């Protein structure tokens, strides 16, 4: 890595108050390519929901797709994302964000080609597994692009749109599968994959990655191309280079592999590393154990069995998906008005209360104390979906992108993504068994208790991150002496 002294940093980055409209347009262009990944992920994630009923109707038999195959088709994408997450994080560190995203685009293109042309369950299973790269990109390369390429004042909005894009993909997939043949989902995926590939070719390399590699001149050019030369942009650039210059924790390239691994593990044992990682895992656990993704995958089967009406199941599925999308965009507005903690914890608490209420409601129906009402059931599920989407699903994605440490960033993202996807795949895979053995009232109770415990932990340890740069957020987890400050004074509104 090239050396750089404190005194040389002002000369490296210079200063200019110039501000134009071009940086935001460039950021929008880059975001559009990165947002194609969660949208394609949603297309693939939602396809089993409508694919399996179509295959059973075509064969005029439920045996055409067994319960075991149904669970594998629904969870194979998440299991496939586990090795993909490891590979993508390593590639992002070695060859950069841009070329890694290009690989993601090409891989997703091959997965949709197989989906469109296959006619066997084995082919569909392989296609879903291949698309695990999209599930991995959702919390690896896509998160890197959104946090490293986008200015802090716009970052929260774009990260919210990223979460909404996933559910747009799910809704479009379910709508297409309801009214059209399931192969049309693959055709749309092909178009999106080509678009993402074309836009990636225009991107510069991430200034954060260039800074990490000691390529400060290229970092400066990339940062100014992306974010302009305004006062805030120059301050962010100056802090970025200063942070890396003072960071002596990274393993040097001339060390042995074992020594580098030892140094990485030693660094990750520091409070400023393991604490945000644990907070990120807790936030993502709220998403998984709230049951939102489970209800998304098995929505038709769940609503059909609760209401005993197939038409209500399809209407309920599309309604819940539409409500989810609306809530995600509502969250985009709310992130500019409220603090991150409030937006996460308040809706999550409402979601927990509704889980307990749904569990009690379904249990009373089972005991025949009250009679089941389709409107009440769908209404409760809708309100639950609103609370979880505005809170944990929406702001959780934003927080994870902001909290991932700058030190050992590759190792941290790899650990986070593999753990999250393993939990997600397992929860989706075992949920049908949980429904059969405990009933839907028992499943709701399990998710309610699990989510409540995690929400209490997050309430205790989550810091506020709104409108802070990644360097400032990283500093909140450090116990610094009073004299140890950043080179550039922070704004009064961004004090740590």
- Condensed to tens digits (0 to 9), the pLDDT of residues 295-323 reads 777 777 777 776 666 666 777 777 777 77
Instruction: Express each pLDDT in 248-288 by its tens digit.
Output: 444 444 455 556 567 667 766 677 777 888 888 888 888 88
CA gap 430, 443 in Å, rounded: 11
CA gap 188, 116 in Å, rounded: 10
Q: Are the C-beta atoms of residues 302 and 441 closer than 8 Å to each other?
A: no
- Supply the mean pLDDT for the chain: 77
Q: Are the C-beta atoms of residues 156 and 335 closer than 8 Å to each other?
A: yes
The reported pLDDT for the residue numbered 258 is 59
| Closest alpha carbon to 88 in 77, 79, 98 | 98
Which of 44-58, 213-227, 241-255, 419-433 is the least confident region?
A: 241-255
Burial class (CB in 10 A: 0-12, 13-18, 19+), 7: exposed
CA gap 434, 297 in Å, rounded: 15
CA gap 83, 212 in Å, rounded: 25
Residue 437 phi/psi, 5-degree rounding, is: -85, -35
The reported pLDDT for the residue numbered 106 is 92
CA gap 416, 285 in Å, rounded: 11
Instruction: Express each pLDDT in 428-453 by its tens digit.
Output: 778 878 888 888 888 889 889 989 99
Q: Where are the domains of the chain?
A: 20-231+270-492
What average pLDDT does the segment 349-355 reach? 90
Structure tokens at 360: 């009690």
| 3-state SS record for the chain | CCCCCHHHHHHHHCCCCCCCCHHHHHHHHHHHHHHHHHHHHHHHHHHHHHHHHHHHHHHCCHHHCCHHHHHHHHHHHHHHHHHHHHHHHHHHHHCCHHHHHHHHHHHHHHHHHHHHHCCCHHHHHHHHHHCHHHHHHHHCHHHHHHHHCCCHHHHHHHHHHHHHHHHHHHHHHHHHHHHCCCHHHHHHHHHHHHHHHHHHCCCCCCHHHHHHCCCHHHHHHHHHHHHCCCHHHHHHHHHHHHHHHHCCCCCCCCCCHHHHHHHHHHHHCCHHHHHHHHHHHHHHHHHHHCCHHHHHHCHHHHHHHHHCCHHHHHHHHHHHHHHHHHHHHHHHHHCCCCCHHHHHHHHHHHHHHHHHHHHHHHHHHHCCCCCCCHHHHHHHHHHHHHHHHHHHHHHHHHHHHHHCCCCCHHHHHHHHHHHHHHHHHHHHHHHHHHHHHHHHHHHHHHHHHHHHHHHHHHHHHCCCCCCCCHHHHHHCCCCCCCCCCCCCCCCHHHCC
Q: pLDDT band at 495, cuts 50/70/90?
A: very low
The reported pLDDT for the residue numbered 162 is 78
Q: pLDDT band at 381, cuts 50/70/90?
A: confident
pLDDT at 12 over 60: no
Instruction: Express each pLDDT in 110-129 by its tens digit.
Output: 999 999 888 888 888 898 88
CA gap 496, 7 in Å, rounded: 25
Q: Are the C-beta atoms of residues 441 and 366 closer than 8 Å to each other?
A: yes
Q: Which residue has the higher pLDDT, 370 or 110?
A: 110
pTM: 0.68
pLDDT at 4 over 50: no
Which of 13-17, 99-103, 225-229, 329-333 is the least confident region?
A: 13-17
CA gap 32, 190 in Å, rounded: 16
What average pLDDT does the segment 353-376 reach? 84
The reported pLDDT for the residue numbered 275 is 83
pLDDT at 406 over 80: no
Q: Quickly name the fold that domain 20-231+270-492 has.
A: Growth Hormone; Chain: A; (1.20.1250)
Q: Which residue has the higher pLDDT, 471 or 280?
A: 280
The reported pLDDT for the residue numbered 109 is 92
CA gap 283, 301 in Å, rounded: 28
What average pLDDT does the segment 222-240 reach? 78
């Amino acid at each position: 890595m090239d050396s750089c002294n404190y005194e040389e940093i002002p000369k490296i980055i210079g200063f200019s108050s110039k501000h134009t409209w071009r940086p935001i347009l460039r950021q929008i262009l880059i975001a559009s390519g990165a947002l194609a990944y969660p949208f394609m992920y949603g297309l693939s994630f939602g396809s089993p929901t409508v694919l399996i009923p179509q295959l059973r109707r075509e064969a005029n038999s439920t045996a055409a797709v067994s319960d075991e195959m149904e669970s594998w088709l629904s969870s194979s994408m998440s299991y496939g994302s586990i090795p993909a997450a490891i590979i993508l994080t390593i590639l992002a560190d070695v060859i950069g964000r841009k070329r890694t995203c290009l690989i993601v685009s090409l891989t997703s293109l091959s997965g949709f080609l197989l989906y469109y042309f296959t006619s066997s369950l084995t082919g569909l299973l392989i296609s879903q597994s291949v698309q695990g790269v999209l599930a991995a990109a959702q919390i690896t390369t896509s998160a890197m692009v959104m946090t490293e390429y986008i200015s802090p004042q716009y970052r929260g909005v774009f990260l919210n749109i990223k979460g909404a894009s996933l559910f747009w993909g799910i809704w479009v997939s379910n709508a297409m599968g309801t009214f059209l043949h399931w192969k049309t989902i693959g055709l749309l995926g092909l178009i999106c994959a080509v678009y993402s590939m074309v836009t990636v070719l225009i991107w510069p390399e991430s200034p954060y990655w260039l800074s990490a590699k000691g390529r400060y001149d290229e970092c400066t050019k990339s940062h100014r191309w992306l974010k302009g030369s305004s006062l805030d942009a120059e301050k962010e650039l100056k802090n970025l280079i200063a942070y890396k210059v003072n960071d002596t924790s990274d393993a040097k390239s001339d060390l042995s592999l074992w020594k580098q691994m030892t140094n990485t593990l030693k660094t990750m044992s520091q409070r400023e590393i393991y604490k945000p990682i644990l907070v990120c895992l807790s936030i993502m656990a709220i998403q998984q154990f709230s049951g939102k993704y489970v209800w998304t995958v098995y929505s038709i089967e769940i609503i059909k069995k609760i209401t005993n009406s197939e038409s209500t199941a399809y209407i309920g599925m599309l309604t819940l998906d539409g409500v989810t999308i609306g809530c995600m965009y509502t969250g985009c507005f709310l992130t500019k008005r409220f603090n991150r903690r409030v937006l996460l914890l308040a809706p999550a608490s409402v979601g927990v209360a509704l889980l307990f209420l749904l569990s009690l409601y379904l249990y009373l129906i089972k005991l025949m104390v009250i009679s089941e009402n389709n409107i009440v059931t769908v209404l409760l599920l809708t309100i639950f979906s609103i609370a979880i989407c505005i809170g944990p699903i929406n702001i959780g994605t934003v927080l994870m992108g902001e909290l991932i440490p700058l030190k050992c960033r590759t190792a941290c993202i790899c650990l986070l993504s593999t753990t999250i996807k393993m939990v997600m795949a397992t929860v989706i895979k075992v949920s049908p068994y949980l429904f059969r053995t405990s009933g839907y009232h028992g499943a709701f109770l399990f998710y309610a208790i699990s989510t409540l415990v995690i929400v209490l932990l997050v309430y205790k340890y989550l810091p506020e991150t709104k409108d802070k740069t990644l360097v400032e957020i990283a500093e909140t987890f450090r116990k610094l002496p009073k004299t140890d400050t950043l080179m550039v004074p922070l704004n009064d509104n961004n004090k740590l």
